[in-house]
């Protein structure tokens, strides 16, 4: 059975004190009443990583939201994969649409980050998804396929296996406009089918693929009920522990 995952993406929100409190609140709720079949991951700002790792129980994963594309050196302001790993974090969100759009992260840069993540034993949560104009032009399948072909489809089977993929249609992120369960299932089912073509059927059945984009307590249950959707990457609703636990328990 595929691993069910609910990952929070806090983005650039909370200071260290409030973030550690949020992590402690989520940790308590997960321990008290969290669905034990769901792997919970918190994607927090760099500044919070060490403290959040110390705050949560071992069963909760901690993710950075980015890493630098170079190993180390004269790159002022960059945080390397090795630095992230040394905080005790085990995951990193890569290729988020905000990074692709606002910070011009292209496939070339993303590929460097993906290999550095693997070299440092960080599991990438790889994001893909189309903007509104592509969805409206009905070319979203080709668009997402190309994103995968330029990046993670270059990985060996052994590395590919370790990935978590998140499909996040850009028009649904932070807009309150969730993709319908059918739209999300259609794309995630499609992603699974092209993984089967590129690698093999077993691998396509093993890998966890999440949905992200205005997921919240009221719609998570329907989304997670779809056969190919293994959970969610949650932005806004991961900043409230009460909402987040409801999403974790939405299966």
Q: Does 174 bind ligand PGA (CB under 6 A)?
A: yes
Tell me, what DSSP letter sits at residue 169?
A: -
User: Judging by DSSP bridges, how do beta strands 4-9 and 164-167 pair with one another?
Assistant: unpaired
Tell me, what DSSP letter sits at residue 122?
A: P
Smaller CB distance to ligand PGA: residue 147 or 204?
147
Q: Does 169 bind ligand PGA (CB under 6 A)?
A: no
Closest separation in Å from C-beta 150 to ligand PGA: 21
Q: Does 236 bind ligand PGA (CB under 6 A)?
A: yes
Tell me, what DSSP letter sits at residue 116?
A: H
Answer yes or no: 140 catalytic.
no
Smaller CB distance to ligand PGA: residue 167 or 199?
167
CA angle 90, 125, 112 (to 5 degrees): 90
Q: Which of 48, 96, 98, 105 is catalytic?
A: 96
Q: Is 229 helix (H, G, I), strand (E, B) or coil?
A: coil
Query: E-strand spans in the chain?
Result: 4-9, 38-43, 61-64, 91-94, 123-128, 164-167, 209-212, 231-234
- Would residue 13 be called left, alpha or beta, if left means φ above 0 and alpha means ψ between -120 and 50 degrees? beta
Q: Does 66 bind ligand PGA (CB under 6 A)?
A: no
Place of tokens 């599991």: 123
Closest separation in Å from C-beta 18 to ligand PGA: 18
Q: Does 173 bind ligand PGA (CB under 6 A)?
A: yes
Binding to ligand PGA (CB under 6 A) within 178-217 occurs at 212-215
- Would residue 71 be called left, alpha or beta, if left means φ above 0 and alpha means ψ between -120 and 50 degrees? alpha
Q: Is 234 helix (H, G, I), strand (E, B) or coil?
A: strand
Closest separation in Å from C-beta 7 to ligand PGA: 8
Q: Do residues 119 and 86 touch, judged by C-beta distance below 8 A?
A: no
Q: Does 129 bind ligand PGA (CB under 6 A)?
A: no
By beta-carbon distance, which residue lies closest to ligand PGA? 235
Question: What binding mask, one character per residue, do residues 1-20 give for ligand PGA by CB under 6 A, x or -?
Answer: --------x-----------
Q: Which of 69, 105, 130, 168 is catalytic?
A: 168
Closest separation in Å from C-beta 234 to ligand PGA: 5
Closest separation in Å from C-beta 196 to ligand PGA: 26
CA nearest to 174, candidates 251, 107, 238 = 238
Answer yes or no: 104 catalytic.
no
Smaller CB distance to ligand PGA: residue 63 or 207?
63
Q: Which positions are catalytic?
A: 96, 168
Residues that bind ligand PGA (CB under 6 A): 9, 168, 173-174, 212-215, 233-237
């Amino acid at each position: 059975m595929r691993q069910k995952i609910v990952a929070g993406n806090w983005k650039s929100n909370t200071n260290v004190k409030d973030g550690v409190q949020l992590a402690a609140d989520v940790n308590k709720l997960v321990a008290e009443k969290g669905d034990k079949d769901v792997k919970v991951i918190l994607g927090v700002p760099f500044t919070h990583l060490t403290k959040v790792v110390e705050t949560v129980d071992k069963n909760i994963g901690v993710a950075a939201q980015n890493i630098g594309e170079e190993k180390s050196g004269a790159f002022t302001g960059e945080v390397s994969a090795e630095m992230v790993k040394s905080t005790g974090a085990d995951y990193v969100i890569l290729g988020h649409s905000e990074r692709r759009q606002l910070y011009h992260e292209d496939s070339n840069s993303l590929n460097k980050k993906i290999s550095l993540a693997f070299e440092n034993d960080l599991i990438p949560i790889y994001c893909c998804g189309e903007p509104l104009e592509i969805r409206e032009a009905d070319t979203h399948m080709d668009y997402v396929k190309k994103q995968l072909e330029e990046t993670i489809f270059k990985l060996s089977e052994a590395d590919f296996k370790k990935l978590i993929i998140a499909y996040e249609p850009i028009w649904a992120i932070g807009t309150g406009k969730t993709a319908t369960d059918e739209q999300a299932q259609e794309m995630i089912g499609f992603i699974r089918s092209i993984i089967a073509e590129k690698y093999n059927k077993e691998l396509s059945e093993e890998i966890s693929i999440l949905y992200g984009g205005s997921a919240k307590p009221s719609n998570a249950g329907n989304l997670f009920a779809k056969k190919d959707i293994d959970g969610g990457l949650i932005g806004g609703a991961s900043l409230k522990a009460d909402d987040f636990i409801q999403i974790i328990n939405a299966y």
